Amino acid sequence: MATAHVKRAYKYRFYPTDAQAAELSRTFGCVRKVYNLALAARTEAWVIRQERVNYNATSAMLTAWKKTEELAYLNDVSSVPLQQCLRHLQAAYGNFFAKRAKYPHFKSKKKSKASAEYTTSAFRFRDGRLTLAKMTEPLDIVWSRPLPEGAAPSSVTVSRDAAGRWFASLLVEDPTVQPLPCTDTAVGIDVGLNHLLTLSTGEKVANPRHERADRVRLAKAQRTLAKKGKGSSNRAKARLKVAKIHARIADRRRDNLHKLTTRLVRENQTLVIEDLTVRNMVKNRTLARAISDAAWSEFRSMLEYKADWYGRDVVVVDRFFPSSKLCSNCGTMQSKMPLNVRTWTCDCGAAHDRDVNAAKNLRAAGLAVSACGAGVRPQRSTPGGQSAVKQENHGATRGIPRF
């Protein structure tokens, strides 16, 4: 549940001077170098000597690296981003050992995100002017929205995306994030491709298909890029054009998802979604492009953290729950329900829209979990056409267990 001390990142675009851009580019390079060196040292220590190296040990290594002639250039940038990247590596190892992520991988100059994190000792924020360490002038930030009144950033992350745009993300405590008044409304949400969302209320949200809208421009820019010689300045310009189109697609998609998730969280106390394995679904070469454009994983992520901020409940139904096959009127489960069947009529006489029916079943399953902590799963068989929903007491509060 959200509190008055929720930490929130406010991201702004800024336009650096040539000197600032050069300094930040050097910092990005040094951060990447230190991260890779520390990762190599930790990997080697474990593979060869079965020795675990922690953050303190890599911090001592960094001090030694700075004293060598080969890596003396690390002294030319602020030490804080270098220390922070070692903390990020430590967190990556923590996620790996907790089985939340894969083993940390090396950062690539061309593919990895260029970023550096500054803590309070490495920046000055006064009267709406942000000045980073090793810089004499404040950043020219476009304040597209105000920070919370009296907010003092605890950290600043500076980044540059593939399209060459510069961003500063300020982490602050946001007192405006408070739990919303409780309501008795609940909604089931079925995601799809023909419609981005179908709600249990019967509302269908159109899929904007942002990637498809710019597909012709993107294809033309990619063909132009493919014809340029590697390493040439013309290739760099062509790559930038492709990156800008991708950035435009991502920005529009993110903006649409923010508006949708904010509305859903404000209007409903309980939100029920399906636990989809998007990572496996995009292996389908026919649908991969459309699924990626829909951004189901990003939608779920936004919904969950906003629900946590505003005191709402997100219930996740197991992916094997037959929401499309069940009749939301009588509970009878159909033996088959091919994807091309969009409407169907149950033996009880109820006519169903496939997606609306699925959303209604998700809502009912989610309410069962919220009410009594029960897990919901289909029976192995449906003798006599009886209800195919079975409740079991698994003590679940946030999701429906897999069977």
23 as an active site residue: the answer is no
The encoded tokens of residue 167 equal 């961003």
Residues 115, 158 contacting (CB under 8 angstroms): yes
- How many angstroms separate the CA atoms of 171 and 154, rounded? 6
Within 13 Å and on the Cβ side, how many CA atoms surround 116?
A: 26
For 341, phi and psi rounded to 5 degrees?
A: -90, 110
Catalytic residue among 190, 211, 293, 304: 190
**Residue 127 φ/ψ region, left for φ over 0, alpha for ψ in the -120 to 50 degree band, beta for the rest:** left
- How many angstroms separate the CA atoms of 11 and 173, rounded? 14
Catalytic residue among 117, 211, 313, 355: 355
355 as an active site residue: the answer is yes
DSSP character at residue 300: H
Catalytic residue among 23, 174, 274, 318: 274
174 as an active site residue: the answer is no
Residue of 300, 306, 303, 305 lying closest to 319 (CA atoms)? 300
- How many angstroms separate the CA atoms of 246 and 290, rounded? 15
Instruction: Tell me which residues are annotated as active site.
Output: 190, 274, 355
